[in-house]
Amino acid sequence: MAVDAGHEAVGIDALTYAGRSKNLTERPSNLLAFYRYDINVASVVGGILREHQPDAIVHLAAETHVSRSIESREAFLQTNVMGTNVLLEEALTYWLDREAHFFKFVHVSTDEVYGSLSPEEAPWTEVSPYRPNNPYSASKAASDHLALSYHHTYGLPVIVTHSANNYGSRQHPEKFIPTMIRQCMNGEPMTLHGDGQQIRDWLHVDDHCRGLLAVLERGRIGEVYNFGGECERTNEQIARIVWTASWPALKDMWGQNLSWHSPETFNMLKFTADRPGNDRRYAMDISKVRAELGWSPTRKIEESIHDVVCWYLENPNYGEDYGR
């Protein structure tokens, strides 16, 4: 999206189990260069900055899957905290050398750093207290504090963003919506943690990217910006939305065998043990980005899920390309 808007971009990604290089090559991306490197390698990061002289860094590289972070925390601390520190350190050296040239370090984070809301509580604003509840959100919270500390202590032009749950095509198969779609395609029950009534706010990835672009172009240094979809849905509602969107294609695929699964007689849910410490509700107040950046979400999941579902149905084996 940044490239479409006329910016030149260079990518660094280690292509861990969660990375897929085809996500870059399947769409016209026109990256100036792509480096398959770990952000923890300071000499590489510094070398790339000196070679390409960027006006901004948008830092998205992270370990992101909450369930994995509950199983094992090491990679989350290494990439999300230590890796962020390497980027900040190298950015600081680079920025100081450039002497007052325009520069921004946009640190991309998550609404999960704010913890969990009850159904009655007001959505989070940029000044809500941090209350991360799992190792993933704790590591992202730590990286947010680190990023802002580089601004306060050294003047590095940092901006921190928090986004609600993203959805779109090409998402790793372990994420919630791709999992729901895959289970539909396989004729398996859609599995939900606990009672399935956890509420998440859903933001289409294109809206998130538009928001990050707005931050790059108009965001104020040292500020925090929250991006949400104003689209709070329970996990069970999402499963039903996915099923309804998948239904016409699945009916063609499976014929009459599927008649008992029609959206009206939906009985494709399976409830499993809840994730330890699972947050109940995430919700974002987006007044600040509306007023300051002129940004608002353009899509509701009920309308945009159709294209997303079609992409997964048309690319059933896309998951095999992860990690390369």
Ligand X SMILES: NC(=O)c1ccc[n+]([C@@H]2O[C@H](COP(=O)([O-])OP(=O)(O)OC[C@H]3O[C@@H](n4cnc5c(N)ncnc54)[C@H](O)[C@@H]3O)[C@@H](O)[C@H]2O)c1
Q: What SS3 state is found at 163?
A: strand
Main-chain dihedrals φ then ψ at residue 161, nearest 5 degrees: -120, 150
Which candidate, 42, 56, 51, places its Cα nearest to that of 7?
56
Q: Which of 166, 169, 226, 235 binds ligand X (CB under 6 A)?
A: 166
Residue-by-residue DSSP string for 222-274: T-EEEE--S-EEEHHHHHHHHHHHHHHHHHHHHGGGGGGG-GGG---EEEEPP
* Contact characters 118-157, ligand X, x per CB under 6 A: ----------------------x-----------------
- Give 188's DSSP letter: P
For residue 67, the minimal CB distance to ligand X (Å) is: 12
Judge contact between 63 and 134, C-beta under 8 A: no
Return the number of the residue (13 or 90) whose C-beta is nearest ligand X.
Answer: 13
Q: Is 321 one of the annotated active-site residues of the chain?
A: no
**Residue 40 touches ligand X, criterion: CB under 6 A:** yes
Q: What share of the chain is helix, strand, coil (3-state, %, to 5)?
A: 45, 15, 40
Known catalytic residue: 201?
Answer: no
Is residue 14 a contact residue for ligand X (CB under 6 A)? yes
Chosen residue from 1, 2, 11, 19 binding ligand X by CB under 6 A: 19
Cβ-based nearer residue to ligand X, 95 or 282: 282
Nearer to ligand X by Cβ, of 87 and 313: the residue is 87
CA angle at 17 for the pair 140 and 178, rounded to the nearest 5°:
80
46 lies in the binding site for ligand X (CB under 6 A): no
Q: Which of 108, 184, 212, 284 binds ligand X (CB under 6 A)?
A: 108
- Cα–Cα distance, 201 to 52 (Å, whole number): 37
Q: How far is the CB of 301 from ligand X (least distance, A)?
A: 13
Say whether 111 is catalytic.
Answer: yes
Q: What are the DSSP calls for 280-297, one per residue?
A: -B--B--HHHHHHH----
Rounded-to-integer distance, Cα 63 and Cα 162, Å: 16
- The one catalytic residue among 136, 167, 312, 318: 136
- Return the bridge partners of 225, or none: 161
Residue 26 in contact with ligand X, rule: CB under 6 A:
no
Does 62 help bind ligand X (rule: CB under 6 A)?
yes
200: helix, coil or strand? Answer: strand
Letters for 175-214 (x = contact with ligand X by CB under 6 A, - = none) are ----------------------------------------
- Give how many residues touch ligand X by CB under 6 A: 24
| DSSP one-letter code for 124 | B
The binding track of 232-251 with respect to ligand X, each residue x by CB under 6 A or -, is --------------------
Our finding on whether 79 is near ligand X (CB under 6 A) is yes
**Contact of 157 with 103, CB cutoff 8 Å:** yes
Residue nearest to ligand X as judged by C-beta position: 19
Chain residues that interact with ligand X, rule: CB under 6 A: 13-16, 18-19, 38-40, 60-64, 79, 83, 108-110, 140, 163, 165-166, 172
Active-site positions read 111-112, 136
